[in-house]
Amino acid sequence: MGGDSLWVNGSSWTRCGSVVLRALRGSVVLGALRGSVMLWALRGSVVLWARCGSRCGAWDARPPWGAPPRPMGAARRAPWAVARARFFSRGPNKASLDAIEGAAFFVALDEEAHGAAPRREGCMDAYAKSLLHGRCYDRWFDKSFTLVVYPNGKLGANAEHSWADAPVIGHLWEFMLGTDRFQLGYTEDGHCKGEPNTTLPPPQRLQWDIPEECCAAIERSYLLARALAEDVDFHVFHFSDFGKGLIKRCRTSPDAFIQISLQLAHFR
């Protein structure tokens, strides 16, 4: 059984529970999420996405569009509005879309590892682009935010911009890291403290009925989103000469400082 699967769990999460995804290749336990600082605080349903089947190593190795319509949210809004009214306003498609849109946030389990590797040139650039747009069909851009979990234990987020500026997610991320490190903690062997809640019901697979005409609309949105993603130049470098503390002592906003720096670099 190849392709993609979407699973939803609508239960309230306990403080020290774990997110369990019963994928086609077995159970995947996201112990690092703790069930979790974020999950515990939001107490909403969570939509989980997993790639099932062969490893995706190229742009064209994408799932068939009998899978969920994720690329529609990555391109222009008008085609998505038309497709939504025509193909996702009734039946199993509406029920599945309602489950996704009613969830607190989206979780994507990626197969390709990313993260900082001092001896691997461009690793942070690839990491940033993965979180920014992924492969254009493995993020749900209409959600408040998407947690992206990598197989090497790294975790990142993609936030939708209309409901909040970046500092909101930044503060949430700092709160999560601080609570994880200084309040919840880990056992001596490196595991999360607490016991998983084994009474939670298993996730339910969402059902979709995607006709050929809808597949064509999804394909058009995907190709547009892919072209936009391939046109993104993103370079990340580590700067440690000074931080926001020095900027604030100069009575300047760190955000404004970076914005001016970007404009100056572009001008030069």
Give yes or no: residues 20 and 123 share one domain: yes
| Shared domain check, 254 and 180 | no
Residue 262: predicted pLDDT: 87
36 and 79 co-located in one domain: yes
37 token code pair: 């600082």
> What is the residue range of 188's domain?
4-237
Which tokens go with 71? Answer: 């690329």
Considering the domain architecture, whether residues 232 and 246 belong to the same structural domain is answered as no
Do residues 185 and 112 share a domain? yes
Catalytic site residue from 133, 161, 171, 266: 161
Digit-coded pLDDT (tens) for 123-181:
899 999 999 999 888 888 888 898 999 998 888 999 988 888 888 888 999 998 899 88
Q: Which two tokens stand for residue 184?
A: 């919840």
The reply to whether 250 and 167 lie within a common domain is no
- Are 145 and 259 members of one domain? no
In terms of residues, how long is the chain? 268
Which stretch of 23-27, 172-176, 232-236 has the lowest confidence by average pLDDT? Answer: 23-27
Same domain, 92 and 12: yes
Q: Are 37 and 175 in contact (CB under 8 A)?
A: yes
Indicate the burial class of 57 (C-beta count within 10 angstroms; 0-12, 13-18, 19 or more). exposed
Residue 50: is its pLDDT beyond 80? no
For 130, what's the count of Cα atoms within 13 Å in the CB-facing half-sphere?
22
Specify whether 56 is located in the same domain as 169. Answer: yes
Same domain, 129 and 229: yes
Other beta carbons less than 10 A from residue 137's beta carbon? 24
| Domains contained in the chain, number | 2
Interatomic CA distance for residues 101 and 82, integer angstroms: 17
Is 238 marked active-site? no
170 shares its domain with 257: no
Instruction: pLDDT band for 65, please (50, 70, 90 cuts).
Output: low
Contact between 4 and 52 (Cβ < 8 Å) = yes
Residues 206 and 150 reside in one and the same domain: yes
Assign residue 171 the CATH number of its domain.
3.30.559.70
